[in-house]
Copies of this chain bind each other. A is one copy, B any other.
């Protein structure tokens, strides 16, 4: 497996970009062996919101957030031609070249239950765990910002894109970033190369798949 691509749910807020991205993902699958793992998007936001109002147990919130990924995966399948939605990692792994698997993680994650039940674990960590299980060469987190910044780029003009940092640095960095807090730990455990990249510019994702330079953050281990 070359890469697991997590497509962040926030991209659904940009319909024309998301549709363009989906068309590109289908074309990447012709040249690269990749698996899509969906983010949770607005469905996960509803879970967060209900959690804030009701104070859910960590386990119920975790399970609902994982189901949110299934939801968004089903949604993505509507825009990726030759995609194949699967609850089975085996099937997702062994599709013929050209077919793009979208892995719905609920059954696998509920069965294996490998991750802490907390909001430190979101679809980033789940995608990293899946990439580790698949022995993928790369984990690509496709989001709506250019990568990891020194500060929140949606709030600060001084925010600078970080081209490369180590998982250890990220771990020691006591700051909220666009990736979840558990991610660096899982990267260190799985020895997985990770890229954070904007889905608004699919050519950057292609560059990652082809080991070219472009605009993104690389998290090294």
Query: Chain A residues in contact with chain B, CB under 8 A?
Result: 12, 15, 42-43, 46-47, 49-50, 53-54, 56-57, 60, 63-64, 67-68, 70-71, 74-75, 77-79
Within the assembled complex, what's the spacing in Å between the Cα atoms of A74 and B71? 14
Within the assembled complex, what's the spacing in Å between the Cα atoms of A56 and B22? 14
Q: Which residues of B contact A79 (CB under 8 A)?
A: 54
Within the assembled complex, what's the spacing in Å between the Cα atoms of A79 and B50? 13
Is B74 in contact with A64, judged by CB distance below 8 angstroms? yes
Is B75 in contact with A71, judged by CB distance below 8 angstroms? no
A-B contact pairs, 26 of them (CB 8 A): A12-B50, A15-B53, A15-B54, A42-B46, A42-B49, A42-B50, A43-B46, A43-B71, A46-B71, A47-B71, A50-B75, A54-B75, A54-B78, A54-B79, A56-B75, A60-B74, A60-B75, A60-B77, A64-B71, A64-B74, A67-B67, A67-B70, A67-B71, A67-B74, A68-B71, A71-B71
Within the assembled complex, what's the spacing in Å between the Cα atoms of A79 and B70? 23
Q: How far is the CB of A194 from chain B (nearest CB, A)?
A: 28
Q: How many copies does the complex hold?
A: 2
Further pairs besides A42-B46, A60-B75: 20, Cβ < 8 Å: A12-B50, A42-B50, A43-B43, A43-B46, A46-B46, A47-B71, A50-B75, A54-B75, A54-B78, A54-B79, A56-B75, A56-B78, A57-B78, A60-B77, A60-B78, A64-B71, A64-B74, A67-B67, A67-B70, A71-B71
Q: Which residues of B contact A68 (CB under 8 A)?
A: 71
Q: How far is the CB of A40 from chain B (nearest CB, A)?
A: 11
Q: Which residues of B contact A46 (CB under 8 A)?
A: 42-43, 46, 71
Q: Which residues of B contact A57 (CB under 8 A)?
A: 78
Q: How far is the CB of A131 from chain B (nearest CB, A)?
A: 24
Q: How far is the CB of A68 from chain B (nearest CB, A)?
A: 7
Within the assembled complex, what's the spacing in Å between the Cα atoms of A42 and B71? 13
Q: Which residues of B contact A64 (CB under 8 A)?
A: 71, 74-75
